[in-house]
Structure 1
């Protein structure tokens, strides 16, 4: 039980640090890297609380699909920018130090959690049927509104990007 508490505390620490780094970065790509680490740490917390399906949804939907959308929007806003110095600055090793350190702490917490066989939460596993019933039952309107919000954000970013480049 003690190992699970340590893993949970490490994952929570990674979430807090990554969230702080996400909102304090001036460069959008750096903020997105920290946001991915944050979402993976949240998935680790879900897993440690006995909700492996919710953890996998966190990884697949948020850290996967939503982050691809965010990266696409960032790329679209920078479309046509030929600043090679800025692009080289994104791939220097010092930019990756923070996300790599936080991901390492998260990996250590995950390995500790996997080594312990007893689940931290008292409930049983959450299956796809239960998640589907909740998402598309009483919260169906909320899920659809969230998808419209993402679509509106993407359309707004496209419009702003075209305007900044002198398109319209």
Structure 2
């Protein structure tokens, strides 16, 4: 049963990714990317990596997607022409369908959850991992956080310059 759920989630991730890269509206593309990340998180859980699954949801689907939406709103990105016109099901059907598949797989995983077994000796608890990360690799964590800060400042600077150049071209 787990392998069937794995293949369903794999198809869901591929479909959401394909929809993500074919959308003209950037906000819709981000919604499909979040769908793909949730499917990947459930796949990680099925592979026996619940901590990685939690990181996938918290860091990628949570934090980085919020950053993407912030950049989209900051640059005021909008499609040149309106997307699919027509009934609401044509616009929201794929999102609802993918969400229902993910919800069904999640409920199936909860229903099939085995009673907890003894944890193997090579697994590390999240607390021990956090202690090791911030005691031994604190400098690396700080360097990465500064790189993300520099990237955000650079994106703001480039976007601000593009807006200025667009204003200069409009005025003769």
TM-score by length of 2: 0.72
2:106 maps to which of 102, 110, 123: 110
Give ranges in structure 2 of 5+ residues lacking alignment. Answer: none
Distance 1:151 1:12, change over 3 A: same
What's the secondary structure of 2:24's corresponding residue?
Answer: coil
C-alpha distance in structure 1 between counterparts of 2:141 and 2:19, whole Å? 28
Give ranges in structure 1 of 5+ residues lacking alignment. Answer: none
The answer to whether residue 160 in structure 2 is matched with residue 162 in structure 1 is yes
After the TM superposition, which residues 1-168 of structure 1 pair with which residues of structure 2 at under 5 Å, given as runs?
3-78=1-76, 94-118=90-114, 124=120, 127-132=125-130, 135-136=133-134, 143-144=141-142, 146-166=144-164
Deviations along 1:104-140, whole A, 9 cap, x unmatched?
1111111111111338xxx756531354367557876
Which sits farther off after the overlay, 56-65 or 156-165? 156-165
Tell me how far 1:16 sits from its aligned partner: 1.4
Q: Which structure ranks higher in relative contact order (CA pairs < 8 Å, sequence separation ≥ 6)?
A: 1
